[in-house]
């Protein structure tokens, strides 16, 4: 994303994510420099990068929530124990991400506490990316059984 377009988007749409506490511009710039494509909406930053998990960033009172979700099949109802055993295994392998299900969807979330600091956010994002890579390597075929 070109810097002029990025700054214009931030100025026009920053009211939702900033909530008087969080300036989205440095987060978007940092993610853009790391190869992510970011779109600032009313209440979140939508983040995409080829080969990585697409997710959204929401502002909370004391930090940022990174969240992605996927639809689940009805199989989780018939094989609930197997599904939750898999989710527990995935969670035990994660550094910062947590997986859980709610309303027929599988969620993955991570919390980054404020204040935003470029260096610590870099390490946090590295852990987020590594968690997804490990999950895909170790558990994607087992998880595919439950995907819609």
List phi, psi (to 5°) of 71: -70, 145
Q: What is the pLDDT of residue 21?
A: 64
Q: What is the average per-residue pLDDT within 6-22?
A: 43
Q: What is the pLDDT of residues 99-133, one digit of tens each?
A: 999 999 999 999 999 999 999 999 999 999 999 99
CATH code of 3-144, in short, is 3.30.1460.10
The 10s digit of each residue's pLDDT in 36-86 is: 999 998 889 999 999 889 999 999 989 999 999 999 999 999 999 999 999
Q: Is 96 exposed, middle or buried (0-12, 13-18, 19+ CB in 10 A)?
A: middle
Q: Which of 51, 45, 49 is nearest to 28 (CA)?
A: 45
User: Which pTM value belongs to this model?
Assistant: 0.82
Q: What is the pLDDT of residue 11?
A: 33
Domains of the chain: which residue ranges? 3-144
């Amino acid at each position: 994303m070109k810097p002029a377009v990025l700054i214009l988007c931030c100025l026009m749409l920053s009211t939702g994510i900033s909530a008087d506490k969080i300036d989205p511009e440095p987060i978007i710039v940092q993610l853009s420099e790391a190869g992510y494509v970011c779109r600032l909406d009313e209440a979140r930053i939508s983040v995409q990068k080829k080969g990585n998990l697409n997710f959204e960033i929401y502002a909370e009172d004391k930090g940022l929530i990174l969240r992605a979700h996927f639809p689940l099949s009805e199989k989780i109802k018939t094989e609930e124990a197997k599904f939750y055993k898999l989710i527990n295994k995935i969670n035990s392998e994660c550094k910062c991400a947590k997986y859980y299900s709610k309303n027929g969807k599988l969620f993955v979330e991570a919390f980054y506490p404020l204040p935003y600091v470029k260096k610590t956010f870099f390490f946090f994002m590295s852990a987020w990316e590594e968690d997804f890579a490990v999950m895909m390597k170790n558990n994607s075929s087992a998880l595919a059984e439950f995907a819609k």
